[in-house]
Structures are given as structure tokens and as C-alpha cells.
Amino acid sequence: MNLIFDVHLDLSMNALEWNRDLTLSLEEIRSLEQGKTDMKGRGENTVTFEEMRRGGIGLCVATQIGGCMKPAGPCASWESPSQAWAMTQGQRIYYETMVEMGEMAPVRNLAELDAHLAKWSDPVAAAAAKEPIGYILSLEGADSIVTPDYLERAYESGLRALGPAHYGKGRYALGHDQVGGLPEGGRDLIRKMDELGIILDATHLSDACFFEALDLFSGTVWASHSNCRALVDDPRQFSDEQIKRLIERGAVIGSVFDGWMMVPGWERGFSTPQSTGVKIENIIDHIDHICQLAGNAKHIGIGSDLDGGFGREQGPMDLDSIADLQTLESLLRDRGYSKEDIAGIFHGNFLDLLRRAWV
């Protein structure tokens, strides 16, 4: 079993806004949620700590998320930056509590990364021993950063990556569903990120904000969970021009397993995995597209976003648990990917990026 490094999981949002105890089994959480309709994906969850271990997902990027963008979304939306900040700090404390319980382990530098990878050198043995799941802390949407100086506090508390935008009009950047460039505060934020060495996550930025941010930022860039606009024509996806720009910057792009981002023609609110026929193997079309643009397989990884505001009702029809990501190994092999390519996609490409970022 290959180690999987999943670079986008909204674990604290699931714990604190969906009220899911991720130490329980999938079946227990699904049973507790039967009949609930307050949140999308109730009873359709795919992620628990047990399932992550079973699937060899020994390392992840775990998000904080709390915005005050307009229009407001159904979750992670607050009326003021101070409220959003408080929510993200509660999420940080959740992760720290999971560390105390032995479920997770913080990864903030190369020494911690190497020590953690040594524990997960054999993912089967690590899962059997219930080794902690390593996490790198990332912030999805920057609205909760009350002023750019708050970034120093966040960095001291473990923040190592940040995506300035989510959906809508944010305080520091516009989301992919908007048209326009960075406000002045966004430029200040990106300069502060550069100063601190925080990784810039290009996912969710509007097209204009994307190019402005990359022009302004001199540090390490990744895209935690994005697919290809050439295959699914929506501004949430990256155009070929954006993908080429990311490749030029040495970035890695995390493949996302949200069904409507995997196959064309998905009508949100109406389509289902069964009606569209979306399967895990469809993600390989996006992986192939990025590899063809790059001329190699070094700029693609996994950023599943599973349980990121949706569940099985909006994912691949053959994915019941995050552990099913392991089936990618045989699917990629059948499409001609080498053992080295597969290891890179599963974990190596993003690990190489971290080693460059944290020198």
C-alpha cells in the first residue's frame, strides 16, 4: 500500500460545524445522522481517522475555514473578521486536542516531516499500530485574518499554507465565481505571506486574482484541490494557461474528487453519481491532462476535498470511503503510469515541494 498525502481535508469543519466525531466509525456517524437535513451530505460521510489509516492516508493538509465573504455560504460564513478568527482558532484547538488524544501529529518543519514519514514508512504497519495522522495546517480563505499582522500569530500557531479566497467576494481576494483583481489589502496579505514563508494556495482565486497573486508572490505555490477547465468548463477549474503558469512556478496541483468537478454535464442539485456515471477513474483524465501540459508527472497529486461540504451523494459512485483512494494505484498503472509516477502522485510530488519550501 502506498502512503497517500492528501493535501485538502476539511477535518475541523466536519468536527465543529457538522458535529461529527471523527474518532467514530463511518457507520456510527452515518447512523447518528440519519434523518438530519440541516447540512448537505448528512449520512453520506466518507472520512474518519479510522478510514484514513485504513487507506494509508498518513499525512494530510488539514484546513481551518471561516470567512465573511459575500454572498454568505451555508457554512463557514460569519458577519465579521473577529467572529471568523474565533472560529478558526476553535478549529486549531480541535486539531491540538486530537494531538493530545493521539489521533493526529503536527508537521511544521522538515524535522517533524522526516520523523513522521519514518513512522509511516510502512503504511500497513502504521495503520495497525494506530499511528497519529500527520497534518499541515492551512487556511482556506483569508477573511478571518483580522489584519495582515495576525498572520504572524497564525504562523506561530502552526499555519503553513493559505488560500486567500474561497467563494464570493472576500476581504483579501475574490473567489473563482467573481470577476476582478486583488484589493489593496490582498496585496498586503500576500507580501506578509512571502515574508513569513507561508505557501500560497492558488485554488479558488478568481482568474485575475490568480495571475496578480502569482506575479506578486515570490515564494512556494501549490493548488490544493483543483481540476482542469478544459475537461469541465467552469471557472472553479484551472484553464490551461493557469496550469502552465503553475508548472512554471514548480507548483503541484491536488486532484479533487467532487463529482461535478470530475465530469462535464453535472447539474448541481439534480445530478447524482449514478445519473452521470462518475467513477474514481474519471480523475485520471484530469491527471493525464496536467501531465501532458507538463511533459511529466511531477506536478500532480491528491487533494481529495472529501466531505468538504458534500458526501457520497456528490462523489464518485465507487467511492464509499476515503480509503478507496487506494484503488487509484491500479487505475493509474492500467493507464501506463510507472511505479515512480504513482508514488509521486500519491505523495512524492507534494513532499518534494515541501522540502523546497521549508529549506
For residue 138, give the H/E element and its range.
strand 133-140
For 99, counting Cβ atoms within 10 Å of its Cβ (0-12 exposed, 13-18 middle, 19+ buried), the class is middle
**25, 52, 129, 164 from 124: Cα distances, Å:** 18, 12, 9, 36
Reply yes or no on whether the pLDDT at 83 is more than 90.
yes
Residue 97, classed as helix, strand or coil, is helix
Q: Is the pTM of this model over 0.85?
A: yes
- Quick one: cell of 255? 486532484
Sign, CA torsion 233/235/236/237: positive
Reply yes or no on whether the pLDDT at 178 is more than 80.
yes
Sign, CA torsion 40/41/42/47: negative
pLDDT at 71: 84
pLDDT at 184: 87
Alpha carbons 91 and 85: distance in angstroms, whole number: 10
Task: Please list the helix, strand and coil fractions of the chain in percent, rounded to the nearest 5, in that order.
Answer: 40, 15, 45
Q: Tell me phi and psi for residue 314, to 5 degrees.
A: -135, 25
Alpha carbons 238 and 246: distance in angstroms, whole number: 10
Look at residues 327, 189, 248, 120 and name the one whose alpha carbon lies nearest to residue 200.
189
Alpha carbons 331 and 318: distance in angstroms, whole number: 13
How sure is the predictor about 70, in pLDDT bands with cuts at 50, 70 and 90?
A: confident
Look at residues 307, 305, 298, 304 and name the one whose alpha carbon lies nearest to residue 345.
298
pLDDT at 88: 98
For residue 221, give the H/E element and its range.
strand 221-222
For residue 253, give the H/E element and its range.
strand 253-255
Alpha carbons 167 and 178: distance in angstroms, whole number: 8
Reply yes or no on whether the pLDDT at 354 is more than 80.
yes
Structural domains in the chain plus CATH codes: 5-357 (3.20.20.140)
Give the chain's mean pLDDT: 97
pLDDT at 269: 85
Q: Rounded mean pLDDT of 135-151?
A: 97
- What confidence tens digit (pLDDT) does each residue in 288-303 have? 999 999 999 999 999 9
Q: Rounded mean pLDDT of 44-65?
A: 98
